[in-house]
Amino acid sequence: MVKGQKVCFADLKHPCYKMAYFHELSSRVSFQEARLACESEGGALLSLENEAEQKLIESMLQNLTKPGTGISDGDFWIGLWRNGEGQTSGACPDLYQWSDGSSSQYRNWYTDEPSCGSEKCVVMYHQPTANPGLGGPYLYQWNDDRCNMKHNYICKYEPEIIPTSPVEKTYFTNQPGDTHQNVVVTEAGIIPNLIYVVIPTIPLLLLILVAFGTCCFQMLHKRKARRTFIKDSTPLSSECLAESLNSNL
């Protein structure tokens, strides 16, 4: 499973987003499961206010699926859906609403969508390896699907202040167009906190190592000098003892 990090912007004017992508098809979720997953983290399934926000999400998905990431086809649930059964009339497109209560009328349907009928929940196409259809590549346009189908999903959150003690991985970037460019990554867990403790103590640790090394060198030097003195003084002591005995005789 690849579950994306939350992406936030430092200007506090733009929402935060999270792309949840699953390699294993069996791990993907229904519309309702995706909705609950976003809400459990204080967010909601993605609503789109205008074309600029649509383009921003597209750029994030392009970065998420760039070569080498191992991420390929897989549509994403967004928060658009309709209530009711089997509407196939021309009024059907007007029945769709955002699950987070947004009043946005922005739409980005693929050609001949929505097809309505039993398909009441909406995905953003993400099938880069599929052959193009009548409406072009199956990328980023919207399609209605059965709500029990299994897909990836995109969450949307209120703007965040950069935390001093983050609880999860979060990307913070200065400009919406940057997405993951010039991004500051804040990590969760104990390791990053240890870094803030260890780095300031490095000079002290180096000083202790130098002092320890100097002490060891001095001790070795003294020990060597003592051994040399004992070795040199032994013959002299024997000569003195012999001379003393001769004089007494």
pLDDT tens by residue, 171-214: 545 455 554 443 333 333 333 344 444 456 677 778 888 888 78
Select from 14, 33, 29, 32 the least CA-distant residue to 156. Answer: 14
pLDDT of residue 218: 80
pLDDT value at 163 more than 60: no
- Kindly report, residue by residue over 220-236, the tens digit of the pLDDT: 877 776 766 555 555 54
Distance, CA of 243 to CA of 33 (rounded, Å) = 106
Cα-trace Rg, the chain: 35
Q: How confident is the model at residue 35 (pLDDT cuts 50, 70, 90)?
A: very high
pLDDT of residue 23: 86
Between 4 and 233, name the one with better pLDDT: 4
pLDDT of residue 215: 77
**Token pair of 43, please?**
């967010």
**Token pair of 214, please?**
């100097």
pLDDT of residue 217: 79
**Token pair of 151, please?**
């897909």
pLDDT of residue 110: 96
What's the whole-number mean pLDDT along residues 112-132? 93
pLDDT value at 20 more than 70: yes
pLDDT of residue 167: 44
pLDDT of residue 82: 94
pLDDT value at 16 more than 90: yes
Q: Report the SS3 class of residue 81.
A: strand
CA atoms in the 13 A half-sphere facing the CB of 32 = 5
pLDDT value at 154 more than 50: yes
pLDDT of residue 208: 85
Between 29 and 202, name the one with better pLDDT: 29
**Token pair of 73, please?**
């086809």
Question: What does DSSP assign to residue 136?
Answer: B
Q: How confident is the model at residue 3 (pLDDT cuts 50, 70, 90)?
A: low
What's the whole-number mean pLDDT along residues 119-125? 97
Q: Taking the chain, what is the end-to-end CA distance rounded to the nearest angstrom?
A: 101
The string of DSSP letters for 94-116 reads: GGEEETT--------BPTT----
Q: Rounded mean pLDDT of the chain?
A: 78
pLDDT of residue 187: 33
How large is the greatest C-alpha to C-alpha distance in the chain, in angstroms?
140
pLDDT value at 84 more than 80: no
Between vectors from CA 64 to CA 166 and to CA 19, what angle results, nearest 5°? 55
What's the whole-number mean pLDDT along residues 26-46? 96
Distances in Å between the Cα of 91 and the Cα atoms of 19, 87, 88 are 31, 8, 8
